[in-house]
């Protein structure tokens, strides 16, 4: 629709709204005064509003200024779900007072800096400033989704949560350019450990979303350490966690034996565990099929598993670990990433014995394309072909 016609129509859209309207989605450009004023008037009309989705097509700077003013124009007494492009820092305190706000989604978060940088010591001895955050802030918030091109902006918003919050689901979605993730992942995990409530958090997702920069094109350092990786130690107090996903395309956990033991001991309620399946890493995994067995027989409710592991020594006649339960987890989906594999027949026997609920279409490996004949020399191509063969055997 031409912008001139759209501007003429905007003043009349309030005729379709009323005090009983509960769900509204606005797509507009706040740089046009007629559109901005029309959107502003809706806050006073829809007193029963429960769900609000705002998509401002104005440039980020001017759009953020309008959004900040708009969000602070109402008490939003009945609002339970808010979806916005960005989150003005000056509006966070106001939103924290919305009594019914249970779902908050920010799709292009930027321009917010963390107030604090936490260390591992802060996990055991919480900093004094946490006591200054109102215990009633975000009192109803259960689901928080933050998407940004930096982990620092995501970390900054989480630091506004009081430790007594009731957050059930936290999704941290990253859209970076290659090489932009460093220590930010560690700082984010520490912030989550300090500000999230282990009595309530059930789902934690930290992953790279579609960016135009596929994970397998990410640049890897020439010099790497065999055991270098991101520690998940900050999450081990969340014993009721049911879903843990950590999949950043340019940095990895690089799971080791201690990580596997910690999952079984400290996170016994896990139903979904997905780590590093989208990471490009030329190093062989530090874990193998014996660690997979530990998870299958140590996490009784595990239904979805994703990790890189060394499958080359699988013979097909492996027995369950002697120190774990008798029953294998009801695994239904298995992401294996670029896990090294030699024998599809042996691996298929292994999966049939220990993953009886796993079906062909739910065994997922990396998706690679042979763009040139020379790519056949890439071992990842062969690994992918072997995992495809496993799918045909189970």
Cβ burial of 27 (10 Å; 0-12, 13-18, 19+) is exposed
Q: What is the pLDDT of residues 85-129, one digit of tens each?
A: 999 999 999 999 999 999 999 999 988 999 999 999 999 998 999
Q: How far apart are CA 384 and CA 366, in angstroms?
A: 6
Q: Tens digits of per-residue pLDDT, 137-194?
A: 999 999 999 999 899 999 999 999 999 999 999 999 998 765 554 458 999 999 999 9
Q: At what angle do helices 151-158 and 184-195 cross, to 10 degrees?
A: 10
Listed by start position, the domains of the chain span: 3-216+229-301
- 180-184 long-range contacts, CB within 8 A, separation 24+: 180/149, 180/150, 180/250, 181/151, 181/248, 181/250, 181/251, 182/251, 184/150, 184/151, 184/152, 184/155
Band (243; pLDDT cuts 50, 70, 90): very high
Q: Record the tokens describing residue 19, joined without a space.
A: 């005090």
Could you report the per-residue pLDDT of 360-394, keeping only the tens digit for each?
Answer: 889 999 876 554 344 555 778 888 889 999 998 87
Provide the token pair at 351.
Answer: 């999966």
CA 236/CA 217 separation, integer angstroms: 32
Asked if 35 contacts 14 with a C-beta cutoff of 8 angstroms, the reply is no
Q: What is the enclosing helix (H) or strand (E) of 335? A: strand 333-337
Q: Do 60 and 30 form a contact (C-beta atoms < 8 A)?
A: no
Q: Mean per-residue pLDDT for 276-301?
A: 93
Cα-flanking dihedrals φ and ψ of residue 342, to 5°?
-110, -45
- DSSP secondary structure string for all residues of 229-248: ----GGGTT-TT--EEEEE-
Query: Which stretch of DSSP H or E encloses residue 22?
Result: none
Residue 214 clears pLDDT 50, i.e. is over it: no
3-216+229-301: in CATH 3.30.70: no
What pLDDT does residue 68 have?
Answer: 87
Separation CA 109–CA 144 (nearest Å): 12
Whether this model's pTM surpasses 0.85: yes
Percent of the chain with pLDDT strictly greater than 90? 60
Exposure class string for 227-250: b at 16+ Cβ within 10 A, else e? eebbbbbbbbbbeebbbbbbbbbb
Would you say 284 and 309 are in contact if contact means Cβ atoms under 8 Å apart? no
- State whether residue 350 is helix, strand or coil: helix
Structure tokens given for 204:
């934690």
Predicted local distance difference test score (pLDDT) of residue 70: 86
Q: Which pLDDT score, from 0 to 100, does residue 157 have?
A: 97
pLDDT band, very low/low/confident/very high, at 65 (cuts 50, 70, 90): confident
Q: 69-78 — which CB contacts under 8 Å span 24+ positions?
A: 70/39, 70/40, 70/43, 71/95, 73/40, 73/43, 74/43, 74/44, 76/49, 76/52, 76/101, 77/47, 78/22, 78/47, 78/48, 78/49, 78/50
DSSP annotation of 288: B
The mean of the pLDDT values for the chain is 87
pLDDT greater than 70 at residue 215: no
At residue 278, does pLDDT exceed 70?
A: yes
């Amino acid at each position: 629709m031409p912008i001139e016609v759209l501007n003429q129509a905007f003043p009349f859209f309030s005729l379709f709204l009323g005090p009983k309207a509960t769900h509204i989605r606005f797509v507009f450009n706040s740089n046009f005064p007629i559109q901005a004023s029309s959107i502003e008037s809706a806050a006073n009309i829809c007193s029963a509003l429960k769900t609000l989705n705002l998509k401002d097509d104005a440039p980020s700077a001017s759009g953020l200024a309008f959004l900040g003013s708009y969000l602070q124009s109402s008490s939003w007494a009945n609002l339970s779900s808010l979806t916005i492009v960005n989150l003005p820092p000056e509006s966070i305190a106001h939103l924290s007072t919305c009594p019914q706000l249970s779902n908050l989604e920010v799709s292009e978060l930027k321009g917010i800096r963390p107030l604090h940088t936490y260390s591992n010591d802060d996990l055991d001895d919480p900093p004094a400033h946490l006591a200054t955050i109102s215990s009633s802030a975000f009192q109803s918030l259960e689901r928080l989704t933050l998407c940004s091109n930096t982990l620092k902006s995501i970390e900054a918003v989480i630091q506004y949560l009081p430790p007594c919050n009731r957050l059930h689901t936290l999704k941290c979605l990253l859209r970076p350019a290659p090489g932009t993730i460093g220590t930010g992942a560690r700082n984010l995990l520490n912030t989550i450990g300090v500000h999230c409530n282990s009595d309530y958090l059930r789902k934690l997702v930290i992953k790279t979303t579609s960016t135009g920069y596929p994970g397998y094109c990410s640049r890897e350092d020439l010099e790497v350490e065999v055991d270098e990786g991101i520690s998940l130690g900050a999450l081990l107090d969340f014993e009721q966690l049911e879903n843990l996903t950590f999949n950043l395309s340019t940095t990895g956990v690089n799971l080791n034996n201690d990580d596997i033991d910690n999952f079984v001991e400290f996170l016994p309620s896990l139903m979904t565990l997905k780590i590093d399946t989208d990471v490009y890493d030329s190093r062989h995994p530090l874990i193998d099929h014996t660690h997979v067995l530990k998870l299958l027989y140590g996490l009784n409710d595990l239904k979805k598993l994703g990790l890189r592991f060394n499958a080359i020594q699988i013979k097909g006649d492996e027995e369950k670990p002697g120190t774990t339960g008798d029953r294998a987890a009801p695994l239904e989906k298995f992401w294996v990433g670029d896990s090294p594999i030699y024998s599809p027949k042996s691996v298929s026997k292994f999966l049939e014995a220990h993953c009886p609920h796993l079906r062909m279409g739910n065994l997922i490996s990396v998706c690679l394309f042979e763009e040139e004949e020379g790519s056949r020399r890439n071992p990842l191509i062969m690994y992918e072909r072997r995992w495809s063969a496993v799918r045909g055997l189970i």
